[in-house]
Amino acid sequence: MPEADPPPSGKTSALGPPLPEPIVGRLAIVGIGLIGSSIARAALERRLARTIVCVDQDPNVVERARALALGDIATTSLTDGVADADLVILCIPVGAFESVAREIGPHLKLGAILSDTGSVKGSVIAQVTPHLPAGVHLVPAHPVAGTEYSGPDAGFTTLFRQRWCILTPPDGTDAAAIATVEAVWTAMGAEVERMTAEHHDLVLAITSHVPHLIAYNIVGTAADLETVTQGEVIKFSAGGFRDFTRIAASDPTMWRDVFLHNRGAVLEMLGRLNEDIAILARAIRWGDGDALFDLFTRTRAIRRGIVAEGQDAAEPDFGRRRDAPP
């Protein structure tokens, strides 16, 4: 993927022209993977901050962030990275939030905003809140966007364009802090929605977490069958299985933590799914073609609704590039 340099002054980018004034003075991005590097690229291109600090505890990632010019500063030090930051965005696995919050909490300045990109919100709030000093504002966020790729090279400026970003600020959160986080995501092209953390976790369990769990399971089953089918599962992969493998290629650490930290909502959705699968199995067993046709008609309408909402493309391969990075 080509390096993302900020456009010359006044030049319009894929997200529009640079802002007349930065939204924040100093932005610290902790975790320079797909999401973190995409935020950095978008922030550079739109000039969302006067200073952008890239923080990652992996020295190789930091060196790569420097090579890609993803920010003004790149460091492996959490405490140095967040010092004096007006907005800190944690782009790290959900299971790491407590230890990171404990380390950076004493170094966050008065009035700083701490946000994140985790796909589980209730656990994030519970892990982070005890370690935040008075005067620091917590505004959790979840950009519902991504690919199966990871690392600083995987990011791109328009990852969040026309995608939803859900904010789940706890009751009593400073209104100006919420407005700042919303402005940052809007400037990166996202549509912003607010909801409670509990509702977010239930919604995402069925729209994201359970589909990933199913994909991991189906691909795992296929791997077990490879010896039986003499390699034909992979050789003759049709579109459906191929797309399952795309989902199942997602970052294993991130998804391990998602399931462990949203277990209640995921288990509830899995229970509903098991009930529906039992009904579907009965229809197949008894040759109930009408029940199958009705189900497939309803699900087809949902797919068309997703395309109509602009959340995917109707082209072959769902509009996904064949030249995507490995």
Pairwise CA distance, residues 58 & 33, whole Å: 11
Q: Dihedrals φ, ψ of 288, to 5°?
A: -85, 80
What is the residue extent of each domain of the chain?
24-195, 199-285
- Which of 164, 165, 148 lies closest to 212 in space, CA to CA? 148
pLDDT one-digit tens code per residue, 46-61: 999 999 999 999 999 9
Mean pLDDT value of segment 90-114? 96
Q: Does domain 24-195 have CATH number 3.40.50.720?
A: yes
Check: pTM over 0.85? Answer yes or no: no
Q: What rounded mean pLDDT belongs to the chain? A: 86
Q: Do residues 29 and 54 make contact, with C-beta atoms less than 8 angstroms apart? A: yes
pLDDT at 46: 95
Given this model, what pLDDT does residue 28 score? 98
Contacts of 222 (CB under 8 A, 6+ apart): 233, 234, 241
> What is the per-residue pLDDT for 238?
63
CA nearest to 160, candidates 194, 184, 193, 189: 189
Q: Check: CB of residue 116 under 8 Å from CB of residue 91.
A: yes
Instruction: Identify the residue with better confidence: 203 or 148.
Output: 203
The pLDDT score that the predictor gives to residue 230 is 55
pLDDT in tens, 105-164: 999 999 999 999 999 999 999 999 999 999 999 999 999 998 878 899 999 999 999 999
pLDDT at 126: 96
pLDDT band at 231 (very low <50, low <70, confident <90, very high): low
Euclidean distance between CA atoms 27 and 194, whole angstroms: 22
Residue 263: pLDDT over 50:
yes
CATH class of 199-285: mainly alpha
Asked whether the predicted pLDDT for residue 325 surpasses 80, the reply is no
Contact between residue 105 and residue 131 where contact means Cβ atoms under 8 Å apart: yes
**Average pLDDT of 84-105?**
96
Count H helices and E strands in the chain, helices first.
Answer: 13, 9
From the CB of residue 19, how many other CB atoms can be counted at a distance below 10 Å?
Answer: 13
pLDDT band at 7 (very low <50, low <70, confident <90, very high): very low
